[in-house]
Amino acid sequence: MLWEEAPLSQSSPLVRIAVVQPRPGSALPDLGTVGSLDRLGREATLEVLYDAASCSDLAAREPIDLVILEERIGEDDTHQVLAALRAAGPPVIVVTTGIDEELALDVFRRGAADCIAATSDYAEVLPVVALEQIRRWRAARERGDTERRIRWLEHLHEAIVNEIPAALVVLDGQGNVVTVNPEFSRIWGVSAGEVNDRPLESVLPSDLLESGGVGEVLSRAAEGRSVAPRIARVIDGERGMRAFDVRAKRLDEGRLLLVLSDLTEVELLAKQVDDLQRYNENIIQNMNSALLVVNLEGRITYANPTAELILDTRPGGLRDSPVWDWFPNTPREEVLISRTLTENTRFRGAETVITRASGGIVPIGISCAPMSDRDGTRLGAVAIFQDLTEIKQLHRQVLQTEKMASIGQLAAGVAHEINNPMGFIHANLCQMSEYLDDLDKVWDSMEALRKAVRELERPTMEEGGFAPGDASITARSGEIPRAMAALDGVIEKVDADFLISDFGKAVRESLEGSERIRHIVQDLRAFSHQDTAERVASDLNQCLDSTANIVWTMMKHSVSLTKQYEELPPVFCFPMQLKQVFMNLIVNAYQAIEAGAGAEGGRGEICLRTERRGDLVAVVVKDNGTGIAPDALDRIFDPFFTTKDVGIGTGLGLSTSFNIVRRHGGTIRVESLEGQGTTFEVLLPVEVPDPETETAA
């Protein structure tokens, strides 16, 4: 038993002697102390010291068997050494140069073991005296060691019996209780005095003795057979199910030691651990997100059923496969989980695509975190991802809904704009039809006149001339002035001069009206189809302008619109989505003016500006409307936040715009002063952002 030895001092077979004498350089002659001790041979080792301090240090550091102290080193040092070693140190033999009774008496009083004079037989006497002192010192020390050892064992025994979290009971040969420890008393509520000499059956609950197997363990132990520990379970009325580890050991004189360790707490903890494990397992197995655990080599060590479902593998099919195999279109070092492994970076809600076992590509939102144990040793990484297919679809629906809502706001204005030209074109056509009826009458009269003129000419052509005074000619020539008068009458009656000039005007006005309708329809058409799947290089000035035109039809003339377009590089984007953002901002600007400057009869102004700023393109929409209250300013990009009346705003406009701009890797900023107006600024990168930074925001 290792720890039984630990506190006891070592007895070295070598003899260690410390000699304290004057320094070699001093004028004092050598007494021959070291020389005489050399006779003790190899068994003795000598430490020669020159002052009290180093002697005390040595004795405190190492076991020394004897100190030979030459009194010549001085009274102070002599006293110091004696004082230091008096209590528990090795014996000290003081050597004096001559016989000095008084000095001898003084050093004995100070605790010296012996005092000898360095006289003629010094060299012979010293080794004998030294050995005798060492023998006595060692004997005393061993006696002390044994006593300490017994005290230590008693103490240890007492500590174990009192502190061990197990109930101990000693039984005599008849099965009566000799003694119990405090834990036994605590568990069964009896003191050692109460149970003394009573049979165990009257002390322990009967079901523990019988069904718990305590009796069986005891009887086997009594026969001296080895018994494997048993677990006894009993129902305790107050505390429910209790469990004990039961062991027994035969002691001397037919006595038995019974050890009952209460496992109830341990079992409870084990159950809690088990429950917790089940709980976690339940969550991980049933959660709607996929979970992957990869080791430092990038191999998958755990995948939950959702991960298997998304990746379309059989149960356990993901285990041990390198995680980058599932991202075949991404260079291995750029796979997010690889980056978590190599760079220790975390990702949250990053968007990427993963490839199913069957080869299909699934858009996912993924979060990765490094995984380490309690000591911080890295174990790998854990990744959680969701299938975004449905979310992407919903997102498209929200976009479309928002677009429809915006169009709904526009519809009334646009319908009004179309209805006016339709109204006058229709009226003009009706009128022109009436004009034609009137002009037909003029035509008829003209036809009559032409006929009269031809009648007059006919005989001349047939007969080769005509005679003046011919009665028929006279009669026929009279028709011309009549027809002429009739024509004049009709022309005057229908106001033909007016008709001719107004007909042209009506045609021109109607053409202008139809042109207006054509423009409106053309602009509207821009909003009726969806974007392509890929980004296309687009002219943002053109996007902004066509959007401004369609909104303009709604705004009519109460607002002035200024445009300052700078030449811009093509931007790779989804143009329909950006048009939706621009429309939203312009419609908001217009509504802010209607509620502010417009309502108070002031002149509303919207200024559209585009400019290049380094790698960015800026689109600015500025109005002098009501402005946004500071408390609302923080929330304008929140979904469903609106300050507009019910039915006017969906509360999705700016949040949708914000998302669209973010998806383009851009930012949208707002500055507003209540009562002064608002400026929205959309900043978009010219280059296509790589998908990482796009989702990192």
Partner 1 sequence: MSGSGSPPVVLLVDDETRILSALRRTLRREGYEILTAESVAEALRILGSRPVNLVLTDQKMPGMSGLEFLEQVAARHPAVARLVITGWPEEIPAAQIERLGIRALIPKPWDDDQVRSALRDHT
Q: Are 550 and 587 in contact (CB under 8 A)?
A: no
Nearer to partner 1, 55 or 425 (CB): 425
Residue 563 is given by DSSP the state: E
Closest distance of CB 391 from partner 1, Å: 40
For 596, other C-beta atoms within 10 Å of its C-beta total: 21
Which residue pairs from 638-645 have beta carbons closer than 8 angstroms and sit at least 24 positions apart in sequence?
644/591
Interaction between residue 42 and partner 1 (CB under 8 A) = no
CA 407 to chain centre: 40
Nearer to partner 1, 151 or 603 (CB): 603
Distance CA 550, CA 540 (A): 16
Q: Are 432 and 503 in contact (CB under 8 A)?
A: yes
Judged by CB under 8 A, which of 21, 33, 428, 650 binds partner 1?
A: 428
Residue-wise burial string across 25-58, b where 16 or more C-beta atoms lie within 10 A, e elsewhere: eeeeeebebeebbeebeeebebbbbbbbeebbeb
Closest distance of CB 648 from partner 1, Å: 16
Nearer to partner 1, 201 or 512 (CB): 512
CA 170 to chain centre: 59
Secondary structure class of 619 (helix, strand, coil): strand
Nearer to partner 1, 509 or 545 (CB): 509
Q: Which of residues 546-565 bind partner 1 (CB under 8 A)?
A: 556-558
Interaction between residue 509 and partner 1 (CB under 8 A) = yes
Interaction between residue 409 and partner 1 (CB under 8 A) = no
Interaction between residue 572 and partner 1 (CB under 8 A) = no
Of the candidates 81, 82, 49, 69, the one whose C-alpha atom is nearest the C-alpha of residue 116 is 69
Interaction between residue 426 and partner 1 (CB under 8 A) = yes
Using CB under 8 A, which of the segments 126-134, 319-327, 414-422, 636-644 binds partner 1? 414-422
Judged by CB under 8 A, which of 123, 251, 369, 422 binds partner 1?
A: 422
Interaction between residue 424 and partner 1 (CB under 8 A) = yes
- What tokens does 108 get? 């004995």
Interaction between residue 502 and partner 1 (CB under 8 A) = yes
Nearer to partner 1, 558 or 564 (CB): 558
DSSP one-letter string for 302-363: EE-HHHHHHHT--TTTTTTSBGGGG-TTS-GGGSHHHHHHHH---EEEEEEEEE-TTS-EEE
Using CB under 8 A, which of the segments 73-81, 90-98, 509-517, 614-622 binds partner 1? 509-517
- What tokens does 1 get? 């038993």
Judged by CB under 8 A, which of 381, 506, 586, 686 binds partner 1?
A: 506
Amino acid identity at 149: R
The binding track of 292-311 with respect to partner 1, each residue x by CB under 8 A or -, is --------------------
The binding track of 440-479 with respect to partner 1, each residue x by CB under 8 A or -, is ----------------------------------------
351 contacts: CB under 8 Å, gap ≥ 6: 363, 364, 365, 366, 388, 691, 694, 695
Nearer to partner 1, 364 or 494 (CB): 494
Interaction between residue 277 and partner 1 (CB under 8 A) = no
Interaction between residue 605 and partner 1 (CB under 8 A) = no
Show the 3-state SS of 195-254: HCCCEHHHCCCHHHHCCCCHHHHHHHHHCCCCCCCEEEEEEECCCEEEEEEEEEEECHHH
Q: Are 341 and 334 in contact (CB under 8 A)?
A: no
Interaction between residue 545 and partner 1 (CB under 8 A) = no
Closest distance of CB 658 from partner 1, Å: 32
- Residues composing the chain: 697
Residue 48: phi and psi, rounded to 5, are -100, 125
Nearer to partner 1, 360 or 423 (CB): 423
Interaction between residue 423 and partner 1 (CB under 8 A) = yes
Q: Are 606 and 623 in contact (CB under 8 A)?
A: yes
443 contacts: CB under 8 Å, gap ≥ 6: none
Closest distance of CB 404 from partner 1, Å: 21
Interaction between residue 512 and partner 1 (CB under 8 A) = yes
Interaction between residue 421 and partner 1 (CB under 8 A) = yes
Interaction between residue 501 and partner 1 (CB under 8 A) = no
Using CB under 8 A, which of the segments 26-34, 64-72, 416-424, 645-653 binds partner 1? 416-424
Distance CA 68, CA 34 (A): 10
Using CB under 8 A, which of the segments 63-71, 179-187, 413-421, 657-665 binds partner 1? 413-421
Nearer to partner 1, 193 or 601 (CB): 601
Interaction between residue 513 and partner 1 (CB under 8 A) = yes
Q: Which of residues 613-652 bind partner 1 (CB under 8 A)?
A: none
Judged by CB under 8 A, which of 12, 420, 522, 530 binds partner 1?
A: 420
191 contacts: CB under 8 Å, gap ≥ 6: 185
Interaction between residue 518 and partner 1 (CB under 8 A) = no
Closest distance of CB 449 from partner 1, Å: 26
Chain positions contacting partner 1, by CB under 8 A = 415-416, 419-428, 430-431, 502, 505-506, 509, 512-513, 556-558, 601
